[in-house]
Structure 1
Amino acid sequence: MPVESTIANARLAMRVANAFALDFARLSAAAPDADLLDSIIGVAVIQANLPPVTWSDGEDAYAAFENPPPDELRRPVSVHAVASSLRLPYETVRRRVAKLAAAGLFEITSQGVYAPRAVLTTPQYEAALRANYDLVRSLYFTLRDLGPAHDPLQSVEPRPGPLSGCDPVAVRTVARASAEYFLRLVDPMTEHFGDLSVGLLMMGIVRANTDSISVHEEATGPLGSSPLLPDEVRVPARLSDLAAALNMPYESVRRRVSALVDEGRCERKGAGVIVPARTLAQPELATVVRQNRGHMRHMFGSLAQLGVLADLEVERPARRCAPGAA
């Protein structure tokens, strides 16, 4: 495959991943009024609470919503560890964790913080898990429909799922796998831009700039072979739309965008702003784009080995899993 096509394929996969990550963060909101930073801190805490020991002999012992891991299996994580993993200031994480704990979403102990079972079994959390399952399923089919070069499995053969009588099947398994993928995706963005919120803002701008072009239109049209989309096809993102989409205060968005423009990472166009091709061509971001494909395949490969992808392939009437069916 020509180098140009390989680069274009990686860019297209990154565009799909970028949209997935932003949707995942919104779905993961710890509370209706939580911003994306609260959501990501919540994801990091929940992910750190459960080591992968729940996976045994290729199956997830706590796959279904009705069978969550017990609290005694959860390991509290220190605020310092969460802050370090997200490259956030300790005080920022401490303050936000305290706010989420006051809202009843976290328990803080002398060993650290954890999300208790009671929080992870509410109807709201169930709805979020099932929506995330659909989001991952949509990502899977989007990649497959783009052609063999984007096949998320490549040579991995999915095995039948242990919960094939339930729908959705392993919502907690999918949530853990997608959370791991999400955190791997945003980490280098944070490292590159020096701030998680700025990284999310850049992701939001990139998405808004290209939303007018469908992924399939881009893949099959003349733009599909371009290493980078030309700036003239990028639709400027309005700051008010960005603030609403990212659930960020308008003034924070305005201030950060002004800094990004001053740094040359963004450009003002008309009533909005774009992330120009020259910014996306920077070596650090090009590395993120290449690594993303490996992270995607790791997620879907893990789900395939656990038998979950076989169920993603099946459409059936919604039916809850019996307690303990996992």
Structure 2
Amino acid sequence: MKNALALKPEPTTKASRHERAAVRVTGQFFLRQAALLIDSAGGDLLLGLVYAAITAANTEHMDEEVKARYAELDEAPPDELRRPISVLALSASLQLPYETTRRYVARLEEMGLARRLGRAGVIIPKAVHESPRSIENIRRSYADVHRFVAGLRKAGVDVDAMR
């Protein structure tokens, strides 16, 4: 039988304090991003998450060269480059019931924020991503990313070593 003293946790090190600080800063970043999603989706966090998941799925297949071509604020990728996601795949990715996901996608369509491309699935069109509201939300999110990185650095996290 192993010595019970050997099972005691190691004393807290400087690195572990940085890990806790990083988690706190990350939690603050997450909550600010969630508030932005709530605001952009008319007060409904889950609707904002469905919107964000569609957006991510539509562009995740793009290679780095294509993503770099559309990295600036003034132009989003064209609809032809977006890969639609089915409601079934979307519900699986969010771990939500299919019917719940279908209703949220229908709401996004009613709001003019999503477009169904037949059986292929749904996209968030370029026009939505280039709308004044979307541009403002991107600016707010980008500023929050800077705040997040600055917070990590202030907490002593070596952000540059994470590349």
1:151 pairs with one of 141, 158, 161: 158
1:84 pairs with one of 92, 117, 121: 92
**Percent sequence identity over aligned pairs:** 36
Could you tell me which amino acid in structure 2 is paired with residue 68 of structure 1? A
1:43 pairs with one of 46, 49, 52: 52
2:137 pairs with one of 128, 131, 144: 128
Structure 1 residues 145 and 52 mapped into 2: Cα distance closer, same or farther (>3 Å)?
A: farther
Structure 1 residues 114 and 32 mapped into 2: Cα distance closer, same or farther (>3 Å)?
A: closer
Question: 2:40, 2:151 → 1: CA distance?
Answer: 29
Q: Which residue of 1 aligns with 2:107?
A: 99
Could you tell me which amino acid in structure 1 is paired with residue 158 of structure 2? D
Preserved CA contact (<8 Å) 1:54 1:62: no
With the length of structure 2 as denominator, give the TM-score of the two structures: 0.85
1:62 pairs with one of 57, 63, 70: 70
Structure 1 residues 19 and 3 mapped into 2: Cα distance closer, same or farther (>3 Å)?
A: same
Preserved CA contact (<8 Å) 1:140 1:152: yes
CA shift, 1:28, in A, is 3.0
What residue ranges of structure 2 are gaps of 5+ in the alignment?
1-9
CA shift, 1:9, in A, is 2.4
Q: Deviations over 1:23-81 (max 9, x none)?
A: 11222347452311111111110000013524129x71101111210110001001111
| Aligned CA-pair RMSD | 2.0
Number of matched residues?
A: 152
What residue ranges of structure 1 are gaps of 5+ in the alignment?
155-296, 302-326
CA shift, 1:83, in A, is 1.1
Alignment of 1:142-291 (within 5 A): 142-147=151-156, 150-154=157-161
Question: 1:22, 1:44 → 2: CA distance?
Answer: 17
Preserved CA contact (<8 Å) 2:86 2:122: yes
- Secondary structure of the 1:56 match is helix
Q: Which residue of 1 aligns with 2:4?
A: none
Residues 1:109 and 2:117 are matched in the alignment:
yes
Instruction: Identify the structure with the greater helix proportion.
Output: 2
Question: 1:102, 1:152 → 2: CA distance?
Answer: 42
With the length of structure 1 as denominator, give the TM-score of the two structures: 0.44
